[in-house]
Amino acid sequence: MNKEIILQNPDQSITNSLSTGRREEIEENRRHVYYLAMALLYLSRQGLAIRGHDESGLSSKRGNLIELLELYAALDKLTRRYGHYTWPEYQNDIIHCLAQQLQLKTVQNVK
Report the pLDDT value the prediction gives residue 70, as an integer from 0 to 100: 81
Which three-class secondary structure state does DSSP give residue 76? helix
The DSSP element (H or E) to which 37 belongs, if any, is helix 14-46
- N residues, the chain: 111
Report the pLDDT value the prediction gives residue 1, as an integer from 0 to 100: 46
Report the pLDDT value the prediction gives residue 81, as an integer from 0 to 100: 63
Mean pLDDT, rounded, for 4-28:
68
82 — pLDDT class (breaks 50, 70, 90): low
**What is the C-alpha separation between 98 and 60, in angstroms, rounded?**
29
**What is the C-alpha separation between 93 and 35, in angstroms, rounded?**
15
Report the pLDDT value the prediction gives residue 66, as an integer from 0 to 100: 81
Q: What is the pLDDT of residues 88-109, one digit of tens each?
A: 788 788 888 888 988 998 999 9
User: Position 47: which residue type?
Assistant: G
Q: What is the pLDDT of residues 18-38, one digit of tens each?
A: 677 788 888 888 888 888 888
Q: What is the per-residue burial (b if ≥16 Cβ within 10 Å, else e) of 70-93?
A: eebbeeeeeeeebeebbeeeebee
